[in-house]
């Protein structure tokens, strides 16, 4: 085991991005359930930004309510990554007195919870509700917020890196410092890497415009990169993929969608299934069978390996035999 270095921090200067303003308010087509003949329930959906994982979670939620026979009308609002817009959306839902709020990602849930203590809020794609101060505890929420967590098996994900990159000595950990989900997982990743005797270089961003500079800086100093479930980086994976190819440094991302758009491998969850899990919780609340205050946070299960065969080939990485069946 090699001697560890002091962590090197590569922090980006906050840069405002014009595209992170405004919200999209076109509701998705709401599936209709066959077993509910009563009036529709009105559900406001507040989503931090668009990317495949969050979109899949939303679709899974709606599918679950349809399967449970809940007839719902959806008001879907997308904040495009802007925190001020999240607050505006949450206020809209409270003013419209919706029956429930689906909050997709931590910032969305925090914005909704700051506006209402009475409307049920069901979250999805949120790593730790307790750490994010959305609930008193994950076991006993107490308030009006509950939901399903996308906590990843971070140590196992980091453990994949030496299998795919046997000579790895130094890894970069990239994440957005203003996303609580990412901070939690980045800390776990750093601890896991150090436990493997690897040196770590940390790169943080605060906006989408920071990604290129920080990623290039870190890629020039490491043998491989790990990125947790991070909304900012998920929106920039095409750029990250190009940097990976240019530098020859492979990226291992926590989210399967991120892997398939620029990473090499992960042990991840299916975000449609996670949203479906949140939808089943919502159905219980809407039927009056449970209340958020006494409904513990649920954790994702059924993790599966995903390997991006094209990216591995482009980087000259030999895929270990035990992962052959997971290549896409």
The tokens describing 200, both together, are 């770590």
Q: Which residues of 94-104 are buried (b: 16+ CB within 10 A; e: fewer)?
A: beeebbbbbbb
Q: Model's pTM, two decimal places?
A: 0.83
- Domain 8-15+152-268+304-326 and domain 31-150+270-296 have a common topology: yes
- Helix or strand or coil: residue 66? helix
- Looking at CATH, the fold of the domain delimited by 31-150+270-296 is given as Rossmann fold (3.40.50)
Is residue 203 within 8 Å of 172, Cβ to Cβ? yes
Is residue 70 within 8 Å of 276, Cβ to Cβ? no
* pLDDT tops 60 at residue 93: yes
| 288 Cβ contact partners less than 8 Å away, ≥ 6 residues apart | none
Using one digit for the tens of pLDDT, what is the confidence trace for 267-302?
A: 999 999 999 999 999 999 999 999 999 999 999 988
CA distances, 137 to each of 50, 134, 206, 308 (Å) = 29, 9, 28, 37
More confident of the two residues 11 and 105: 105
* Gap between the Cα atoms of 143 and 141, Å rounded: 6
- Provide Rg for the chain, Cα atoms: 20
Angle between helices 180-195 and 154-164 (to 10 degrees): 50
* Gap between the Cα atoms of 274 and 125, Å rounded: 7
Q: Report the pLDDT value the prediction gives residue 286, as an integer from 0 to 100.
A: 98
Give me the count of residues in the chain.
328
Second CATH level (architecture) for the domain 8-15+152-268+304-326? 3-Layer(aba) Sandwich (3.40)
Q: Report the pLDDT value the prediction gives residue 18, as an integer from 0 to 100.
A: 30
Domain ranges of the chain: 8-15+152-268+304-326, 31-150+270-296
Using one digit for the tens of pLDDT, what is the confidence trace for 22-72?
A: 344 444 443 333 334 346 999 999 999 999 999 999 999 999 999 999 999
Q: What is the 3-state secondary structure (H, E, C) of 65-118?
A: HHHCCCCEEEEEEECCCCHHHHHHHHHHHHHCCCCEEEEECHHHHHHHHHHCCC
More confident of the two residues 23 and 260: 260
């Amino acid at each position: 085991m090699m001697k560890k270095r002091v962590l090197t921090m590569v922090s980006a200067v906050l840069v405002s991005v014009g595209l992170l303003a405004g919200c999209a308010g076109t509701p998705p087509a709401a599936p209709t359930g066959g077993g509910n003949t009563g009036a529709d329930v009105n559900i406001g959906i507040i989503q931090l930004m668009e990317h495949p994982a969050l979109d899949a979670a939303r679709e899974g939620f709606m599918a679950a309510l349809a399967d449970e026979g809940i007839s719902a009308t959806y008001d879907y609002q997308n904040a495009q990554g802007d925190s001020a817009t999240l607050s505006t959306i949450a206020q809209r839902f409270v003013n419209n007195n919706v029956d429930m709020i689906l909050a997709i990602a931590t910032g969305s849930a925090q914005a909704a919870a700051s506006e209402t203590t009475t409307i049920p809020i069901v979250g999805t794609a949120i790593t730790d509700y307790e750490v994010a101060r959305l609930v008193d505890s994950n076991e006993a929420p107490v308030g009006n917020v509950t939901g399903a967590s996308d906590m990843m098996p971070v140590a196992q994900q980091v453990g994949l890196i030496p299998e795919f990159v046997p000579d790895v000595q130094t890894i970069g950990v990239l994440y957005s410092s203003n996303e609580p989900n990412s901070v939690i997982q980045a800390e776990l990743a750093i601890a896991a890497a150090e436990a493997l005797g690897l040196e770590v270089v940390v790169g943080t961003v605060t906006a989408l415009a920071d990604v290129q500079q920080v990623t290039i800086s870190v890629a020039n100093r490491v043998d491989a990169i790990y990125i947790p479930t991070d909304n900012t980086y998920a929106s920039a994976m095409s750029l990250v993929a190009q940097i990976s190819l240019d530098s020859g440094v492979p990226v291992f991302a926590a989210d399967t969608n991120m892997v398939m758009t620029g990473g090499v491998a992960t042990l991840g969850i299916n975000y449609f299934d996670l949203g479906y899990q949140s939808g089943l919780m919502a159905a219980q609340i809407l039927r009056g069978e449970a209340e958020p205050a006494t409904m513990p946070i649920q954790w994702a299960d059924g993790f599966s390996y995903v390997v991006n065969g094209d990216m591995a080939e482009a980087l000259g990485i030999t895929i270990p035999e035990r992962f052959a069946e997971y290549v896409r």
